[in-house]
A and B are shown apart, each in its own frame.
Chain A
Amino acid sequence: MNALTLRISKLWIFIDVEVRRDTHNLLGFCAKYFRIFMLCFVYSFFFKSALWQKNILLDGHTIDFPLFLVSGVVGVRVIPLSIRIFDEILSGLKSSKLEEWVQTTPTCLWELFAAKALWNFARVLTELLTLIVFAHILVGVPIRPFFQGSLLLTVVWMFAAYAGIGMILSGLSVFLKQGGILFNFFFQISATFGGVFFPTYIFKGRLAFLAWVSNSLPITHALQVIRFGLIHEKTPSVAFHEKFLVMMTLTLLPVGFLLLQRSLVWARKNGNF
């Protein structure tokens, strides 16, 4: 068996274990999808009663509030599944006391990370699909295959950008041993200032510094691209946000990789993660 076949076979087994671990409690797993349904249901109630035909202004274009909010919810679901890939593997090995044993095997931790990343990305896709379907049924968001294709690409870049941030935070938490706080802090910052529930143009005057925070988050740019895609507008600002997101991803991934790799080597030298 050559090295590539071995790697692929191993990856398949690791993904299989990830899937089985997540789905062994089928009721709990299905509840996640049911939660999306509930979310859409609650939103539809709000839309119909109070927010229907309320528009949000984005770079001179208007977008219906339902579309604005649903796309925000789609985006924010990507973060926890991408940012914690590395941390979940490391803390999982630690809590199950597999840490030492795995270090004595020829398997590289990056193989485990890759399996987790693939499975989490599959979960992002299924949750995305669930959301689109429920949003269509309950809220009336149109299903457009062409748009959903560009949305997918944006989600891929966003997933990768947050995976890069996840690597940086995991690398830092190996040194600082305070991983949970870092991840929660970053998730809350992204959810609050990333333009998920309200547009970021409200950060003006004394709050202008929050616009800077907002612009430095991948989710802000991803959501802009997704929302303009929804209203079928191709403005110069969309191209800017696309490029910014890609540049961010291409910067965060190698920086995160190097930092995490360094910290794992350091941790191994010192005996634990």
Chain B
Amino acid sequence: MNAIEINGLSKVYPISRFSRQPGTAALTDISLEIPKGALYTLLGPNGAGKSTLIRILAGLTPVTKGNFKLNGRLGLFMSGVQGFWEALDGRTNLNYFCALQNLVGSKARNKVDEVIDIFEMGAYVDRPVKIYSNGMKHRLLLARTLLNDPDILLLDEPITYLDPIGAREFHLLLRDRLNRTLGKTILLSTHQLEEAQEISDTLGFLFQGKLLWEKKASTFRDQQANLLEDYFQTVKNQPS
């Protein structure tokens, strides 16, 4: 069964709020299916439409044409390390986010303890968020994403502010804890090709709003193909 089904989805942004001129096409006729429990990574240069696709699936941006179906509860992780009340401690932040998800009382306490345990944040969760490192904040962001017990995780360039070691740890956390252990379906957008081919089941390449190819990540892992070479060739062969 598919967790995400997208059929002929297009998005056109108007030039300005009041303009009647045809706008800029951010996505053109995207169709894809992501099975339950899969880790699907969207690749592509800046402006390819990755964030727009994730925003549409999260219900933040309306579609211009086409439709999509999500089979399961959604968790969203947008790029950036902010999104907390910095003066408050991690646990208070998580309690607040639980309340936003309609979780209060003992249910909220149990859920907060559970995510603290999953992401091993016990040592610092009761300290103010402003003293956290970027890696700690990323764990807290992921913990927040899991509060409503989502089946599908949408992660938009989650490692923007992490150093290479932090980025790698974060990706392994995604694959081992969230995807393999907890069975979450993950749609990830990233520029990190090496980690994308290491952790993903499927890779999709977006360019100028079009899905140019979808390939099994295992073909790159098994060295039958070179992802970086594929990436450059795809971009080079497209008309500018």
A106 to B83, CA, bound (A): 17
| B78:A105 contact, CB within 8 angstroms | no
A7-15, A208-216, A240-248: which lies at the interface? A7-15
A62-70, A92-100, A126-134, A198-206: which lies at the interface? A92-100
A24 to B128, CA, bound (A): 10
* B227 in contact (CB, < 8 A): no
| B83:A105 contact, CB within 8 angstroms | no
B35-43, B59-67, B195-203, B216-224: which lies at the interface? B59-67
| A107:B102 contact, CB within 8 angstroms | yes
A227 smallest CB distance to B (angstroms): 39
| B60:A271 contact, CB within 8 angstroms | yes
A269 to B64, CA, bound (A): 12
| B78:A13 contact, CB within 8 angstroms | no
* A21 touching B99 in the complex, CB below 8 Å, given contacts A96-B82, A104-B60, A271-B60: no
* A102 in contact (CB, < 8 A): yes
| B59:A101 contact, CB within 8 angstroms | no
* A42 in contact (CB, < 8 A): no
Q: Which residues of A sit under 8 angstroms from B226, Cβ to Cβ?
A: none
* A17 in contact (CB, < 8 A): yes
* B48 in contact (CB, < 8 A): no
A266 to B87, CA, bound (A): 32
Q: Identify which of A1, A14, A21, A97 contacts B82 (C-beta below 8 A).
A: A97
* B179 in contact (CB, < 8 A): no
Q: Which residues of A sit under 8 angstroms from B6, Cβ to Cβ?
A: none
Q: Which residues of B sit under 8 angstroms from A271, Cβ to Cβ?
A: 55, 60-62
A126 to B58, CA, bound (A): 42
* A103 in contact (CB, < 8 A): yes
Among residues of A, the one whose C-beta sits closest to the C-beta of B81 is A97
* B125 in contact (CB, < 8 A): no
| A21:B88 contact, CB within 8 angstroms | yes
A21 smallest CB distance to B (angstroms): 6
| B83:A9 contact, CB within 8 angstroms | no
* B84 in contact (CB, < 8 A): yes
A103 to B60, CA, bound (A): 7
Q: Which residues of B sit under 8 angstroms from A103, Cβ to Cβ?
A: 59-60
| A6:B104 contact, CB within 8 angstroms | yes
* A77 in contact (CB, < 8 A): no
Q: Which residues of A sit under 8 angstroms from B100, Cβ to Cβ?
A: 102, 105-107
Within B148-174, which residues are at the interface with A (CB < 8 Å)? Answer: 148
In the A-B complex, the 5 residue pairs with the smallest Cβ-Cβ separation, listed nearest first, are A9-B104, A13-B99, A97-B82, A24-B87, A105-B100
6 contacts between A and B (CB under 8 A): A13-B95, A17-B92, A21-B87, A97-B82, A100-B76, A105-B101
